[in-house]
């Protein structure tokens, strides 16, 4: 009888090392109060003269859809993988993963845009969150970035938009703050699709010092509108509304 | 009374003015006199309803009227108790009464094959039939039913308008329209027209558009002279005139516009909301007329609707939502195409 060497099984052929499955830890010790409160931005109605009844009817439909399809919490800058029904693909589904660069729309028409670079070609797909063709939404990496809108990644170096297609989900905690990724991105030489240095885009996540001279940055500041932050007509305080809607959504989802 | 006294005052005041100017400049006296008659305006200085009331009275008026209208609406919800006019059967070619609805907003909707369409949500708020006009009264061809829409406050309505609402026993409405109706579809005034009346497919609408300003011409010219001028106004020497109906700058909008043949995707019975395909003229929260289509493509689908309208039976419970067969309902699992 000889000792089995590592990587051999009974008949002497080398086996592939299969790692043991990771144990799934369900933390029931954390109370609800410590869980992070997150209300998806499409639930918050925009400031318009629309009857609130319309929003409440739409919200009911959204909650019904969320009970069937789990739409997880994610932010702009997180990496998501989406499986969608596709009649022309083999297996009838197609899977796409990428960085979320934008979340738009309100109510049932809410959308998010995922960007990835595949075979050297940048690809952006805009998905509707409540479309019945979406079958699964996974968050591979939950993080925030310095900006709310990462459209400047189109003019940045490709390494910042690539997401490895074999990426494994990175575990994230359910409590506490969402990690903020403070990378500041290097850009390709100008011309860009938009003049990102201008203050109306309010971009924090670009390394302007590497691509623009201080004179150009100063010249861009001439388009600044410093009075806008004092404009009272543009104030839209949603804190009370958000709390109410969050409570309503949580009670409906737990039913 | 207030109007009359005011008119007299103005006249007198104007006279006084003319007298003063006459004293000042003798030449202008006659001119002043003629101006007098041309410039007399009827200025109405009526008061608004709450100007001379105390706070307590104001709140009492509002509350009592609100309660009275709630009672009236509750009384009209079950018209079968009230000896309604005889209900007749649907025949081909008969027209039902329509509804008055409020445009809430728009939302996306998906079919079972995954296509996305947009719908407008229309809410039917307190739609009551106000009056019946027989053929002779209306126009000699068809009978008509006068229908009212959303409830409004009675304080800003004239007495003549209030008379009609009082006869029908119904709170005053913001919008009153007439619908042409065939004889077998007449309903006794005071009946609450329920949105369930409209489960069939295909509607026609009317709304009032906001004004846009000048319409101008489509900008599909190749030249770069000036971009918004009308260009040529017609052919040359042979007609030697501009044809009638030539598009020229002018008033646009603020007319009744109709969207025809819109499909109804879904009806919510709890809030009385109709989900209708596509867009509808009018701004949000505007009042629209809704009626069945006359378009030939949809006539077969509208056979045997609830006629003349949907009457609420005492014990009947309607499902909360009524969906079109192609529509994807969000409680179903995700599509697997």
Report the pLDDT value the prediction gives residue B242, as an integer from 0 to 100: 74
Per residue in A45-85, pLDDT tens?
998 888 899 999 999 999 999 999 999 999 999 999 999 99
How many CA atoms does the CB half-sphere of A150 hold within 13 Å? Answer: 30
A123 touches chain B (CB under 8 A): no
A49-249 to CATH, choices 1.10.10.10, 1.20.1250.20, 2.30.30.790, 3.40.630.10: 2.30.30.790
Nearest residue, CB atoms, B334 vs list A64, A69, A87: A69
**CB-based contact B334 A134, cutoff 8 Å:** yes
Angle at CA of residue B214, ends B210 and B218, nearest 5°: 110
Residue-wise pLDDT for B125-157, tens only, equals 777 777 777 767 666 666 666 666 666 777 666
B177: β partners? B147
Confidence tier at B191 by pLDDT (50, 70, 90) = very low
Written as six digits, the tokens of B13 are: 């005041």
Beta strands at A180-181 and A144-145: parallel, antiparallel or unpaired: parallel
Reported as a pLDDT band with limits 50, 70 and 90, residue B2 is very low
Contacts A135 to B, Cβ<8 Å: 334, 336
What's the number of CA atoms in the CB half-sphere (13 Å) around residue A133? Answer: 18
**Where along chain A do its domains lie?**
49-249
The answer to whether B323 contacts chain A (CB < 8 Å) is: no
pLDDT tens-digit profile of A222-249? 999 999 989 998 888 889 999 999 999 9
pLDDT per position as a tens digit, B82-114: 545 655 566 666 666 777 788 888 999 998 888
Residue B266 neighbours by CB under 8 Å, 6+ apart: B109, B119, B274, B275, B321, B322, B323, B324, B327
DSSP per-residue codes, chain A: --PPPTTB-TTSPBPP-PPPPPPP----SS-GGGBPP---GGGSPPSSS--HHHHHHHHHHHHHHHHHS------TT-EEEEEEE-TTSGGGEEEEEEEEEEEE--GGG-EEEEEEEETTEEEEEEEETT-TTEEEEEEEE--EES-S--GGGGGB-GGGT---TTPPPPP--SBSPPPEE---B-BPSSPPSS-TTSTTT---SB-HHHHS-HHHHHHHGGG--GGGGG-GGG----HHHHHHHHHHHHHHHH-
Cα B304 to Cα A76, B89, B195, B293, distances in angstroms: 53, 9, 16, 14
Please report residues of A whose CB lies closer than 8 A to that of B272: none
Alpha carbons within 13 A on the beta-carbon side of A138: 11
Q: Could you check whether the bond before residue B213 is cis, i.e. omega within 30 degrees of 0?
A: no
Judged against a pLDDT cut of 80, whether residue A221 lies above it is answered with yes
The beta strand positions in B193-277, using DSSP E, are: 203-208, 256-257, 264-268, 273-277
Q: Is B116 on the interface with A (CB under 8 A)?
A: yes
CA distance B309 to B133: 18
Domain ranges of chain B: 95-216+248-337
pLDDT digits (tens, 9 = 90+) for A144-174: 999 999 999 999 999 999 999 998 999 888 8
Q: Do B285 and A49 touch (CB under 8 A)?
A: yes
What is the pTM for the complete model shown?
A: 0.71
Interfacial A residues in 80-119 facing B (CB < 8 Å): 85-87, 92, 107-109
Query: Which letter does DSSP use for residue B301 in this model?
Result: G
CB A131 to CB B110 under 8 A? Answer: yes
Q: Which of B330, B332, B335, B336 to mutate to test the interface with A (most CBs of A within 10 A)?
A: B330
Question: Lowest mean pLDDT: which of A185-189, A248-252, B304-308?
Answer: B304-308
């Amino acid at each position: 009888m000889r000792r089995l060497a590592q990587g051999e099984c009974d008949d002497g052929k080398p086996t592939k090392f299969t790692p043991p499955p990771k144990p799934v830890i369900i933390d029931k010790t954390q109370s609800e109060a410590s869980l992070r409160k997150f209300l998806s931005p499409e639930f918050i109605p925009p400031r318009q003269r629309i009857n609130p009844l319309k929003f409440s009817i739409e919200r009911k439909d959204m909650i019904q859809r969320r009970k069937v399809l789990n739409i997880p919490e994610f932010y702009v800058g997180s990496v998501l993988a989406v499986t969608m029904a596709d009649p022309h693909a083999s297996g009838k589904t197609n899977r796409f993963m990428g960085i979320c660069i934008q979340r738009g729309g309100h109510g049932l028409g809410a959308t998010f845009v995922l960007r990835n670079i595949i075979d050297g070609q940048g690809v952006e797909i805009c998905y509707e969150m409540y479309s019945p063709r979406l079958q699964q939404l996974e968050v591979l990496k939950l993080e925030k970035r310095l900006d709310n809108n990462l459209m400047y990644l189109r003019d940045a170096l490709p390494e910042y938009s690539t997401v490895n297609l074999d990426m494994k989900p990175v575990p994230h905690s359910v409590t506490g703050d969402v990690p903020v990724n403070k990378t500041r991105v290097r850009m390709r030489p100008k011309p860009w699709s938009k003049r990102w240095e201008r203050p109306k885009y309010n971009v924090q996540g670009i390394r302007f010092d590497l691509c623009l001279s201080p004179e150009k940055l100063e010249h861009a500041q001439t388009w600044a509108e410093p009075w806008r932050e004092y404009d009272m007509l543009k104030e839209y305080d949603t804190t009370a509304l958000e709390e109410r809607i969050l409570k309503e959504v949580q009670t409906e989802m737990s039913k | 009374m207030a109007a009359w006294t005011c008119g007299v005052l103005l006249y007198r005041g104007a006279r006084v003015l003319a007298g003063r100017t006459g004293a000042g400049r003798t030449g202008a006296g006659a001119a002043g006199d003629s101006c007098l008659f041309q410039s007399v305006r009827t200025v109405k200085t009526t008061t608004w309803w709450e100007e001379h009331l105390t706070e307590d009275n104001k709140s009492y008026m509002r509350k009592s009227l609100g309660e009275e209208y709630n009672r009236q609406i509750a009384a009209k919800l079950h018209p079968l108790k009230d000896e309604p006019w005889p209900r007749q059967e649907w025949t081909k070619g008969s027209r039902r009464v329509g509804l008055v609805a409020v445009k809430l907003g728009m939302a996306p909707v998906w079919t079972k094959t995954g296509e996305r369409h947009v719908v407008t949500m229309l809410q039917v708020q307190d739609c009551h039939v106000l009056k019946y006009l027989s053929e002779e009264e209306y126009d000699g061809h068809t009978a008509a039913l006068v229908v009212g829409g959303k409830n409004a406050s009675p304080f800003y309505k004239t007495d003549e308008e209030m008379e009609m609402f009082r006869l029908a026993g119904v709170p005053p409405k913001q919008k009153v329209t007439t619908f042409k109706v065939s004889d077998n579809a007449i309903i006794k005034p005071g009946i609450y027209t329920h949105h369930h009346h409209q489960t069939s497919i295909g509607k026609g609408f009317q709304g009032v558009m906001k004004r846009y300003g000048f319409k101008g011409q489509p900008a599909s010219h190749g030249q770069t002279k000036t971009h918004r001028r009308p260009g040529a106004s017609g052919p040359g020497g042979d007609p030697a005139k501009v044809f009638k109906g030539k598009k020229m700058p002018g008033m646009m909008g603020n007319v009744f516009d109709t969207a025809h043949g819109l499909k109804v995707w879904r009806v919510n019975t709890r809030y009385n909301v109709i989900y209708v395909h596509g867009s509808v003229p009018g701004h949000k929260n505007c009042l629209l007329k809704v009626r069945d289509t006359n378009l030939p493509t949809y006539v077969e689908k509208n056979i045997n609707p609830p006629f003349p309208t949907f009457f609420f039976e005492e014990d009947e419970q309607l499902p909360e939502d009524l969906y079109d067969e192609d529509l994807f309902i969000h409680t179903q699992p995700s599509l697997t195409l």
